[in-house]
Chain A
Amino acid sequence: MTSQAAGEEKELSVMPGMSMIGGEMLKWSDRRPDERPPAGGPVLAHLLDRLAPLVPPGGQVLVAGPHDETLVNALARQASVTLLLRSHVDATAAAGNGGAVLCGTLAKLTDAERYDLVIALDGVDRLCSVEGPQYDWRESVRALQRVLRPGGTLLLSVENELGVHRLVDRSPSTSPHTDSEWYPLGEFDDSRPGTPDRLTALLTGEGLEVGWLGATWPLPHAPALIATPDALRAGPGGALAAAAAGAVAAAYAGAPVLSDPRRLAGTAVRAGLGPELAASWLVVAHRATRPATAPALPPVLSGDGPVTELTRTPEGTWERRVVGGETRATPQRDPGRLDGPMPTGRLLEELLLGACVRYDLPAVRRLLTGWAEWLGTLSAERGYATVDNVLLDGDTYALLDPSRLGTTTVSAPAAAVAALHRFADTLLTGGYAHPWPAATEAGTLTAVLVGAAGLDVDPDEFGTPVPAEVPPPDSLREHQEQLRALRQQLDDTRKHVKWYEKQLAGKEKELRKTRKQLRALRGSRAYKVAEVGMGAARRARDLLRRARH
């Protein structure tokens, strides 16, 4: 041991409520700006609320790994909570807030059969410290399972190595970039399940019975949409695909990616691959024997402020209801408007893109005209009736998220122009074929789309377009596509300039010929005679005019 290390040992502070179990990391924090944020968000907070009844009076909860304080504090109000943190810095901060903390590495966790509920929403990859054994996924789950009481419940988040977030990541998961990635196994951890079915089977093999499993978007640590495989298979597919794409859009606003994750998420859900390509899976698993009073969890939970659940009615329709999160109405958002039947149909943007790549002009016009007319029937929500927030079922247009409101009412043509400008941008920068290939500039394409929507206005009348609140992801594949298009446009422009030069040369030749003819005509006897005659006639006319006055 060096003298410096000995010095650190001397300074080590152990707050009341904090137990040093061994293998802790000094001067380390999992809360660095360049590291993944701890698991959190309104949907996870609501999920924990729903699971709180699993903990009997006087029962114990272990929260393993970094979790957002809001989650921990809410839980601590209902049960006795212990945190497991590998970072001494993080553990000290948590203990300072009055919590019980086990500080050290997962391999040192020895509290056998102690907890009624173990929560690992951050996954298991930040439980082992640099010291001691580096557990793979299965060993980590086994270690957590051991500390559960019989009948206890494990709430576990399992990152999908083939999730949309991974597929669009510009950095390979096996190439370390930050200080926390000292053991970058990525998809080479063979113990890790790759599908929800395998996850269920693996947990069963560990003596854990899966009571509920949900696929999540957009990111494992901050899900905004959780849906069970059943809901994804039999639920309102168009709305769920749109919700997945929307959740991903918000998380990846302006973010560097390989390809557009919105398209990938939406397509996966529509194609029936939602669970397989979700960012992660959340499981509620019980150590035998399963408690008789396990709370029922809904098929779908979602929310980026207000949290809603989606449930199937006895009639087979789907109902949306606000169940948590931010439920107060403000002038900008009224969560109460989310309550009611879930709109069905397909996202208007997807329908339009489908019609565009088929060069189906009548379909594009039908979709846009119907939408533009429907905009006229809306009021404060009109500004949010953009093509990526509208579902169309037959002839019925409906808002996917009707809760957002404009503080001033935008006119229907102004709302249409703004939305179509964004859609024109999507067509031009998103890598989509469309029926107006020569309209390579957003203003022109917007004008075409506005016309196709049956509106007799010019986008210029509405001033400079306002940029989208949620900018699109910064995608390499689409950049590549734009580069190709720009090269082509440059090449076309060069040819265009050459054509103009040729035209000009032709016109100059014609002009020279005409001037030559003109000179020849002026030099001719007939012209000179006519000129003299015209001069005399003009003089005579002037004389006559003067004489009259």
Chain B
Amino acid sequence: MHHANHFYGHAHVLAEYCGLDRDKPPRIDGYVQHGWNVVDGLGGGTPYVSGRPIFVWSEQTRRRAWSMGRRQATVTGSPWLYLLAVEPDPEPDHEREGTIFYPFHGWERQGVKGDHQRLIDEVIATEPGPVTFCLYWHEYHIAEIRAQYERAGRVVCHGYRGHQWRGTDTRFLYKQLAELRRHRRVASNRLGSAVLYGAAAGCAPAVYGDPMQLEREDIATADRIRRQWPELHGVHPDPVEATASALAELGAGQLAGPAELRAMLGWRRGHLEPAETAVVADAKSVLSEEAA
């Protein structure tokens, strides 16, 4: 339905959970919420087609979507939790170490304004153990920013989110899960998907430091987030309370079984639509196909 369904390989994770080929997820009959948000589950600017379901993470998001006129919001829980179901920890008793820190990130149309060095200094001064900085692909490819973080610790990037079904790192979430399972703590300077994912993967979550700012960002939303989820903010929030809150946001307890999810996504046996791909490749690949 929308290319955002493939972001981070969400559709691929859902296909694996449903017992289908994870490399070729069939077309999803609706919109999968592709990141934590405090609106209707859709990403900003997503051209919503009326009547199509939005597969949201939590019942709270469904209520919010309804109040915004989205009548078709359907709670599935987040793809992250489905990933946890298909990828049990191979070494559940292994030693975890240090903190993985996710600096607030920008994207193609909005960069982040703020002092990265000040944030790095605060994180290094706060965290007791080694720090892994996980940069979003956007900042990872900005050499100066990446260098700043590399001077302070290990730097990783889980991969490219994807766009218009192209370049999607379909193993994005698998890599993120493997990284999170190595760390004792997950932290960020803004509450977002990564902190929630980390809490669900067994890290103690924290949100602190200069929150920075997106270009043209509505700051009222950031303030509202701090007011509504204080249990997830701070250097050392109560891990039990914080994890419970994170799990609720991800839709723990709401997950559908494979057969039910298949029916919800339009993936019933005998009713499958072909996998979605970038429909028109670039001229170079057309040429090579013709030559073959």
Known: A437-B74, A438-B52, A451-B256. A518 touches B287 (CB 8 A): yes
The stretch from A232-240, A302-310, A381-389, A453-461 touching chain B is A453-461
User: 1/0 contact trace for B247-288 toward A, CB 8 Å?
Assistant: 000000110111111111000111000000001111100110
A307 to B50, CA, bound (A): 53
A448-B263, A492-B51 known; A456 and B280 CB under 8 Å?
no
Give the size range of B's interface with the partner: 35 or more
Q: Are A451 and B261 in contact (CB under 8 A)?
A: yes
Whether A456 contacts B254 by the Cβ 8 Å rule is no
Given contacts A362-B254, A452-B256, A496-B52, contact A458 B268 (CB under 8 A): yes
Contact with A435, one of B29, B74, B257, B291 (Cβ below 8 angstroms): B74
Interface residue count on the A side (C-beta < 8 Å): 37
Name the one of B53, B253, B291 contacting A438, with C-beta atoms under 8 angstroms: B53
Partner of A493, one of B47, B51, B71, B279: B51
A-B CB contact pairs (8 Å), 18 listed: A359-B59, A362-B253, A362-B254, A437-B73, A438-B51, A438-B52, A439-B264, A444-B268, A448-B263, A451-B257, A451-B261, A460-B269, A493-B51, A495-B49, A496-B50, A499-B47, A517-B283, A521-B287
Q: Is the CB of B72 within 8 A of A438?
A: yes
What string of 1s and 0s marks CB contacts (under 8 Å) between A462-480 and chain B?
A: 0000000000000000000
Contact call B253/A496, Cβ cutoff below 8 A: no
Ranked 7 nearest A-B pairs via Cβ: A492-B51, A451-B260, A438-B53, A451-B259, A447-B263, A517-B283, A448-B263
Q: Are A452 and B260 in contact (CB under 8 A)?
A: yes
- Does B184 lie at the interface of the complex (its beta carbon under 8 Å from any beta carbon of A)? no
State in angstroms the CA–CA spacing of A436 and B263 once bound together. Answer: 10
Closest to A457 in B: B259
Say which residue of A359, A493, A518 sits within 8 Å of B286 (CB atoms).
A518
Q: Does A131 contact B (CB under 8 A)?
A: no
User: Is B207 an interface residue, CB under 8 A from the partner?
Assistant: no
Chain A residues contacting B258 (CB-CB under 8 Å) are 451, 456
Chain A residues with Cβ below 8 Å from B262 are: 447, 451
Chain A residue contacts of B12, Cβ below 8 A:
none
Nearest chain A CB to B68 CB, angstrom units: 14
Of A114-122, A165-173, A506-514, which stretch is located at the interface? Answer: A506-514
* Interfacial chain A residues near B291, Cβ < 8 Å: 534
Q: Which residues of A contact B281 (CB under 8 A)?
A: 514
- Is there a chain B Cβ closer than 8 Å to A271's Cβ? no
What distance in Å separates the Cβ of B85 from its nearest Cβ neighbour in chain A?
Answer: 15
Residues of A with C-beta under 8 A to B53 = 436-438
Shortest distance from the beta carbon of A163 to any chain B beta carbon, whole Å? 36
Interface string of B116-156 (1 = CB under 8 A from A): 00000000000000000000000000000000000000000
Is A317 in contact with chain B by the CB < 8 A criterion? Answer: no
CA distance A517 to B256 in the complex (A): 46
**Whole-angstrom distance between the alpha carbons of A492 and B72 in the complex?**
11
Residues of A within 8 A of B253 (CB): 362
- Rounded to whole angstroms, the CA-CA distance of A351 and B62 in the bound complex is 22
Which of chain A's residues has its CB closest to B70's CB? A437
Q: A457 to chain B: which residues have CB within 8 Å?
A: 259
Cα A369 to Cα B53 in complex, Å, equals 25
Q: Is residue B75 contacting chain A, with contact meaning CB distance below 8 A?
A: yes
A455 to chain B, nearest CB (A): 7
Whether A395 is near chain B, meaning CB under 8 Å from some CB there, is no
B residues within 8 A CB of A14? none
Q: Once the chains bind, are A491 and B257 in contact (CB under 8 Å)? A: no
Give bound CA distance, A489 to B71, whole Å: 12
* B30 on the A face (CB < 8 A): yes
Complex contact A438–B270 (CB within 8 A): no
A409 at the binding interface (Cβ < 8 Å): no
CB of B40, distance to nearest CB on chain A (Å): 14
Q: Are B62 and A507 in contact (CB under 8 A)?
A: no
Chain A residues near B30 (CB-CB < 8 A) = 438
| CB-based nearest A residue for B30 | A438
Q: Are B254 and A488 in contact (CB under 8 A)?
A: no
B140 to chain A, nearest CB (A): 29
Residue A62 lies at the interface, judged by CB distance under 8 Å to chain B: no
- B175 to chain A minimum Cβ distance, whole angstroms, is 30
The yes or no answer to A450 lying at the interface (CB within 8 A) is yes
How far apart sit A458 and B267, CA to CA, in the bound complex (Å)?
Answer: 11
